[in-house]
Structure 1
């Protein structure tokens, strides 16, 4: 029993280390040891284990993010809208081909998803939409085509979204033809990444209730990293983006049977032929 408890505490401590470096800073061994009341050697073992698992990189005296953490994912959504906006709009254009009249879809909350919602509202699609983002619900409801459901839950003003237990509970009896999410990074090794455990839980829950799962990301996310795996590549179906992924990521997507969609006028990369 003690061994199991110790392993559980160690795993929780390692998750906390990953959360600490998610801000993009180097975390020192001494800082972590003091925070958790353990020896520095224990922390070094944690860091070695996380490095071997491909979650971070060791540096002198501590640990650093494996790649460039997407710090914009921690900023208010109104600020994120202007970061790489042009590429996000193009990625959203690529995703438009996923929507067909009569579909029952779920749209997640992010700046890219908000830009996608604007394009959907301007299209001629009639959809049944469920979302946890307040602005997406408002934009699509104003188009007066189809129906829009805004999930209940705790309001998060910076992301303009709702979340928490009530949000997850309201999804229990729902099924979707398609669910679409944004994200802060996509990794050839770990899959689609995000800034929080709450993001992971929502994506996993909705994906399990959807016929297909898509992510919409601009190509800047190909070179970034983040603290949480929100969905492994093998559990996703589609990536809509503005530019073809680099070779290593392209091969990983193909192996995972993920279709890559690019906007019309650009090359189409299809993992499913």
Structure 2
């Protein structure tokens, strides 16, 4: 597991995904994890230290155990996000695609739901796509769309480019339609765990003619560390049929159009 079919060494976020998968619901020794990933025990120790700092694992003598249960405020790793509510995310992405027309200039935020949208853009023509997501960029790098990367500091957990360094490119752009993901969504707006990511979301919200939030119903009522935009910043919310009725009322009060996939 230490490399892919092209003998490329795995990035630390990829190794961490594999470590969490290998831990499952039990304890694994450092030697077992090193053998499973085909990396050194020193590399596993560094990755476990990173995972422990984020509350994803607990170190025990000679190994580690995955932390679960009530750890709701931990931001999931990207691999975990793609497996959560996957069917709902696909439907949300398909509904969001209907808002995009040939020739549009669009922005794609980070997140697994927005990535699902990126994978559907082959049915559109002559788009200009701006993104801070390396995952979305990888999906689109061989497409015929014009692709612009926002730049900035790399955030491994979300695989995005974020923070004040995104300002020079972000401020130079006028984006027709921007599509955002989120970790938390309450009456106060959207929120994330990282100040740099929140900075970039707010930057693009100020540069977009129309902003669209893609959020499955599991995001409603959850607040994360840093506010990344208010309800008034969004024109559409694309979600699934599980949206709580009280949120329907709140969104309509803010003149937000709700699209249920």
TM-score by length of 1: 0.66
Higher relative contact order (CA 8 A, sep 6+): 1
Q: Partners of 2:214 and 2:125 in 1: how far apart?
A: 18
SS of corresponding position for 2:170: coil
Asked if residue 118 in structure 1 is aligned to residue 119 in structure 2, the reply is yes
Closer/same/farther in 2, CA of residues 108 and 149 from structure 1, 3 Å limit: same
Mapping for residues 164-203 of structure 1, pairs under 5 Å: 164-187=163-186, 189-203=187-201
Corresponding residue of 1:106: 107
- Asked if 2 retains the 8 angstrom alpha-carbon contact of 1:156 and 1:162, the reply is yes
Closer/same/farther in 2, CA of residues 155 and 193 from structure 1, 3 Å limit: closer
CA RMSD for the aligned pairs? Answer: 2.2
SS of corresponding position for 1:148: strand
Corresponding residue of 1:81: 82
- Asked if 2 retains the 8 angstrom alpha-carbon contact of 1:94 and 1:240, the reply is yes
> For residues 89-109 of structure 1, what are the alpha-carbon distances to aligned partners after superposition, in whole Å with 9 as ceiling and x for unaligned?
111112111101111111111
Q: Partners of 2:192 and 2:72 in 1: how far apart?
A: 10
Corresponding residue of 1:127: 127
SS of corresponding position for 2:220: helix
SS of corresponding position for 1:224: coil
- Asked if 2 retains the 8 angstrom alpha-carbon contact of 1:104 and 1:177, the reply is yes
- Asked if 2 retains the 8 angstrom alpha-carbon contact of 1:155 and 1:162, the reply is yes
Q: Partners of 1:221 and 1:70 in 2: how far apart?
A: 12
Report the alpha carbon displacement of residue 223 of structure 1 after superposing the two structures with TM: 4.2
Q: Partners of 1:87 and 1:68 in 2: how far apart?
A: 23
- Asked if 2 retains the 8 angstrom alpha-carbon contact of 1:69 and 1:226, the reply is no
Report the alpha carbon displacement of residue 165 of structure 1 after superposing the two structures with TM: 2.6
Q: Partners of 2:230 and 2:173 in 1: how far apart?
A: 22
Q: Partners of 1:193 and 1:156 in 2: how far apart?
A: 16
Report the alpha carbon displacement of residue 69 of structure 1 after superposing the two structures with TM: 4.5
Closer/same/farther in 2, CA of residues 69 and 212 from structure 1, 3 Å limit: farther
Report the alpha carbon displacement of residue 68 of structure 1 after superposing the two structures with TM: 8.7
- Asked if 1 retains the 8 angstrom alpha-carbon contact of 2:133 and 2:161, the reply is yes
Of 154-163 and 206-215, more deviation after overlay is shown by 154-163
Report the alpha carbon displacement of residue 156 of structure 1 after superposing the two structures with TM: 2.2
Q: Partners of 1:243 and 1:177 in 2: how far apart?
A: 27
Q: Partners of 1:191 and 1:69 in 2: how far apart?
A: 19
> For residues 24-58 of structure 1, what are the alpha-carbon distances to aligned partners after superposition, in whole Å with 9 as ceiling and x for unaligned?
xxxxxxxxxxxxxxxxxxxxxxxxxxxxxxxxxxx
- Asked if 2 retains the 8 angstrom alpha-carbon contact of 1:70 and 1:185, the reply is no
Corresponding residue of 1:231: 229
SS of corresponding position for 1:98: coil
- Asked if 2 retains the 8 angstrom alpha-carbon contact of 1:69 and 1:224, the reply is no
Closer/same/farther in 2, CA of residues 70 and 219 from structure 1, 3 Å limit: farther
SS of corresponding position for 2:176: strand
Unaligned runs of 5+ in 2: 1-53, 56-69
